[in-house]
């Protein structure tokens, strides 16, 4: 069976055009695109009446549990261009012990659900976006791709390019977790370590576009990654019986996920599959790199570059986002907010969820838990609410605190002091 399980000739395709996220200017469907003429991200638009006639919520239930189950809402046309490594539907894992501990005495605990994106190929949610970006690149005749990354996106691009037989070049800050650098290389990309941040890497990729003609797959400069990330919202709605949660906590860097989910909810409402209710979209950033939090607090539409960005949650160390206005729009329209968490709070949350519930989050995922407890304490989220925390990568990819007590064979073990104390 083909990865995408489709056997009926061309995939059903309902893309009508793309449009600039800021000005609404229209662009032709099924062409290679970068940013709009206004320098802003392009959004893919569909004939949603056509989708409604072609597909029902009920028909979905019989399909395999992969993101390609939403193919009518995706842009790929020809089945042979689908590049897949097995994009499973990720589980929603409740944190019942923590929810009970955090709820006021005598009250029914709220519901904390972790959408665990670490189960995807390459161990992160970047697989969703890059599965679509690389499939579309293949469909549109691209042979060489390049991107700046904090690690996970580069790994996913390398893997999907290898799968598709495309060449790839990846540029990351020189303090990117070592495992990311090595997995990128193992998966066939040429990887470069740059003594700067992700936006400095982005400048090199943009220069290379002119110098050597590769396709620039930077976050939101390429329009199809959002379509892949959109499936997080489609999946979440379906998993919760088409009833969206009260709030979504999302670790925000470039913001593709938050923009993608917000787009998914609008498309689902237009299809009549969900009602008007939306979750409060909550942007979570690290205190050492919080441009969106500042812009939200300032009531601004755009977020200036954050200088001296630092956090050990590498995925959210993004000083400036080209889709800033789209992220802020989702937060404001949803009645959500943006919040920054300190490094110590991220580290403590990381340890706590792993130790108390057995779920090893990524530091970025841990940041959402830290933000949730903060919001619970200051009343911005109620104890009885159903919230979804996004864990966007497996915790196994990150350097963890040292552990382990050494034992020497042949020496007497003091069971009470050495082992069970």
Ligand X SMILES: Cc1ncc(COP(=O)(O)O)c(C=O)c1O
Least separation, in Å, of the C-beta of 172 and ligand X?
Answer: 10
364 binds ligand X (CB under 6 A): yes
User: DSSP per residue over 205-232, as a string?
Assistant: HHHHHHHH--EE--TTTSTTHHHHHHHH
127 binds ligand X (CB under 6 A): no
90 binds ligand X (CB under 6 A): no
Least separation, in Å, of the C-beta of 231 and ligand X?
Answer: 13
Nearer Cβ to ligand X (285/373): 285
Radius of gyration of the chain, Cα coordinates, nearest whole angstrom: 22
87 binds ligand X (CB under 6 A): no
Contact segment (CB under 6 A) with ligand X among 39-47, 75-83, 138-146, 250-258 equals: 250-258
Q: Which residues pair with 147 in a beta bridge?
A: 170
Nearer Cβ to ligand X (138/229): 229
Alpha carbon distance 140, 145 (integer Å)? 12
Alpha carbon distance 347, 349 (integer Å)? 5
Nearer Cβ to ligand X (157/392): 392
User: DSSP per residue over 250-269, as a string?
Assistant: EE-SS-HHHHHHHHHHHHHH
Residue of 147, 202, 151 whose CA lies nearest to 170: 147
393 binds ligand X (CB under 6 A): yes
Binding residue for ligand X (CB under 6 A) from 36, 216, 252, 285? Answer: 252
Least separation, in Å, of the C-beta of 59 and ligand X?
Answer: 30
Alpha carbon distance 174, 98 (integer Å)? 37
202 binds ligand X (CB under 6 A): no
Binding residue for ligand X (CB under 6 A) from 177, 255, 288, 336? Answer: 255
Burial of 420 (0-12, 13-18, 19+ CB in 10 A): exposed
Helix ranges (H only) for 308-387 are 324-333, 343-357, 363-377
Nearer Cβ to ligand X (109/173): 173
Nearer Cβ to ligand X (284/381): 284
Alpha carbon distance 157, 117 (integer Å)? 16
Nearer Cβ to ligand X (135/152): 152
Binding residue for ligand X (CB under 6 A) from 90, 150, 187, 216? Answer: 150
159 binds ligand X (CB under 6 A): no
155 binds ligand X (CB under 6 A): no
Nearer Cβ to ligand X (303/316): 316
148 binds ligand X (CB under 6 A): no
Compute the Cα dihedral for 145, 150, 153, 158 and give only its sign.
Answer: positive
Q: Which residues pair with 146 in a beta bridge?
A: 169, 216
Q: Which of residues 270-329 bind ligand X (CB under 6 A)?
A: 315-316
Q: Which own/partner pairs from 100-103 qualify as long-range (CB within 8 Å, at least 24 positions apart)? A: 102/373, 102/376, 102/383, 103/383, 103/384
Least separation, in Å, of the C-beta of 338 and ligand X?
Answer: 12
134 binds ligand X (CB under 6 A): no
SS3 71: helix
Contact segment (CB under 6 A) with ligand X among 53-61, 155-163, 246-254, 338-346 equals: 246-254
Is the Cβ–Cβ distance between 38 and 20 less than 8 Å? yes
User: What does the chain come to in residues?
Assistant: 421
Binding residue for ligand X (CB under 6 A) from 13, 66, 84, 124? Answer: 124
Alpha carbon distance 32, 222 (integer Å)? 9
Contact segment (CB under 6 A) with ligand X among 35-43, 45-53, 94-102, 245-253 equals: 245-253
Alpha carbon distance 287, 96 (integer Å)? 28
Alpha carbon distance 243, 252 (integer Å)? 24
Least separation, in Å, of the C-beta of 365 and ligand X?
Answer: 7
Binding residue for ligand X (CB under 6 A) from 13, 36, 84, 219? Answer: 219
99 binds ligand X (CB under 6 A): no
Binding residue for ligand X (CB under 6 A) from 36, 334, 362, 373? Answer: 362
370 binds ligand X (CB under 6 A): no
Size of the site for ligand X (CB under 6 A): 18
Nearer Cβ to ligand X (216/219): 219
Alpha carbon distance 166, 125 (integer Å)? 21
Least separation, in Å, of the C-beta of 263 and ligand X?
Answer: 13
Alpha carbon distance 320, 331 (integer Å)? 17
Question: Which stretches of the chain bind ligand X, using CB under 6 A?
Answer: 124, 150, 152-153, 219, 251-257, 315-316, 362, 364, 392-393
């Amino acid at each position: 069976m083909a990865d995408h399980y489709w056997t009926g000739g061309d995939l059903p395709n309902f893309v009508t055009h793309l449009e600039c996220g800021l000005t609404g200017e229209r662009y032709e469907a099924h062409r290679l695109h970068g940013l709009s003429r206004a320098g802003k991200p392009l959004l893919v638009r569909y004939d949603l009446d056509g989708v409604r006639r072609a597909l029902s919520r009920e028909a979905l239930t019989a399909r395999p549990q992969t993101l390609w189950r939403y193919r009518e809402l995706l842009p790929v046309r020809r089945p042979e261009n689908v590049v897949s490594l097995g994009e499973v539907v990720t589980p929603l894992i409740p944190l019942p012990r923590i929810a009970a501990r955090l709820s006021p005495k005598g009250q029914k605990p709220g519901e904390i659900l972790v959408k665990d994106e670490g189960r995807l190929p390459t161990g992160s949610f970047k697989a969703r976006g890059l599965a679509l970006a690389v499939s579309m690149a293949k469909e549109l005749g691209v042979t060489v791709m390049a991107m700046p990354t904090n690690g996970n996106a580069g790994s996913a691009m390398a893997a999907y390019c290898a799968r598709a037989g495309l060449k790839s070049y990846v540029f990351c800050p020189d303090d990117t977790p070592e495992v990311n650098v090595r997995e990128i290389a193992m998966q066939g990309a040429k990887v470069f370590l740059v003594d700067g941040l992700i936006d400095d890497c982005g400048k090199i990729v943009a220069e290379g576009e002119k110098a050597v003609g590769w396709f620039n797959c930077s976050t939101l400069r390429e329009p199809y990654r959002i379509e892949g990330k959109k499936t997080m919202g489609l999946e979440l709605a379906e998993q919760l019986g088409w009833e969206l949660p009260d709030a979504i906590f999302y670790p925000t860097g470039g913001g593709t996920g938050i923009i993608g989910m917000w787009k998914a909810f609008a498309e689902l409402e237009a299809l009549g599959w969900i009602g008007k209710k939306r979750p409060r979209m909550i942007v979570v950033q690290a205190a050492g790199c919080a441009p969106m939090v500042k812009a939200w607090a300032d009531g601004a539409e755009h977020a200036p570059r954050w200088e001296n960005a630092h956090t050990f949650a590498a995925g959210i160390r993004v000083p400036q986002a080209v889709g800033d206005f789209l992220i802020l729009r989702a937060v404001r329209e949803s009645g959500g907010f943006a919040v920054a968490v300190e490094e110590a709070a991220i580290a403590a949350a990381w340890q706590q969820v792993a130790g108390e519930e057995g779920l090893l989050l990524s530091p970025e995922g841990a940041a959402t838990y830290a933000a949730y407890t903060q919001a619970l304490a200051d009343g911005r989220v109620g104890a009885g609410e159903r919230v979804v925390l996004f864990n966007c990568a497996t915790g196994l990819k990150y350097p963890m605190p040292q552990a382990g007590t050494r034992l020497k064979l042949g020496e007497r073990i003091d069971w009470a002091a050495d082992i069970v104390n």
